[in-house]
């Protein structure tokens, strides 16, 4: 029988789901016509590089040539809406996209068999993450649970649009003659 200390550390690890979150974010960015590349595994501070899809695009003075994105994910639908991010990595990314994968409820007596729903993405600017970063514990977390109104402008398509605008990527349109 496991001790209480061992049971407290008995977290469910889902490496496939965790790795898939980066690819899922890449897919949504590419759906918005943002060219996204995965950084090498273990790269410090960011997971994705985003660039304009037009190879001859010259960024204007207000646009960026590239955007560095850190991806954080939570698989549990009933998670605390917080995620760890080290203070030393805050300067290494332009945006942090937190992917709430919502694959099921796992807390308390829940086993994950209920509570599945669509994933949610929040594309948070570095300044927002820095402002809400709590370095008072060793976990160094950003907690979003009480910030729902504040994070609504960064949700799903609205958040991806922030990256597209900074890169100067117009919404895809078909020219009609």
Contact partners, residue 5, CB within 8 Å, separation at least 6: none
Cα 87 to Cα 15, 91, 149: the distances in Å are 24, 8, 24
pTM: 0.91
The reported pLDDT for the residue numbered 65 is: 97
Q: Is 119 helix (H, G, I), strand (E, B) or coil?
A: coil
Domain ranges of the chain: 4-167
From first to last of the 177 residues of the chain, give the pLDDT tens digit: 444 444 454 678 888 998 899 999 999 999 999 999 999 988 889 999 999 999 999 999 999 999 999 999 999 999 999 999 999 999 999 999 999 999 999 999 999 999 999 999 999 999 999 999 999 888 899 999 999 999 999 999 999 999 999 999 999 999 888
According to the CATH classification, is domain 4-167 in 3.40.1350.10?
A: yes
- Read off the tokens for 144: 């979003």
């Amino acid at each position: 029988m496991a001790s209480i200390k061992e049971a407290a550390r008995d977290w469910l690890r889902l490496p496939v789901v965790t790795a898939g979150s980066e690819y899922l974010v890449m897919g949504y960015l590419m759906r918005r016509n943002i060219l996204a590349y995965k950084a090498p595994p273990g790269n410090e501070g960011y997971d994705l590089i985003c660039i304009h899809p037009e190879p001859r695009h010259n960024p204007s003075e207000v646009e960026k040539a590239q955007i560095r994105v850190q991806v954080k994910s939570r698989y549990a639908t009933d998670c605390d809406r917080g995620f760890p991010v080290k203070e030393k990595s805050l300067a290494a990314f332009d945006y942090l996209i937190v992917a709430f994968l919502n694959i099921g409820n796992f807390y308390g007596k829940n086993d994950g068999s209920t509570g599945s729903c669509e994933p949610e993405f929040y594309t948070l600017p570095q300044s927002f993450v820095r402002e809400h970063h709590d370095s008072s514990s060793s976990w160094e977390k950003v907690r979003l649970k009480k910030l729902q109104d504040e994070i609504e402008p960064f949700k799903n398509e609205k958040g991806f649009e922030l990256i597209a605008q900074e890169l100067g990527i117009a919404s895809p349109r078909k020219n009609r003659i």
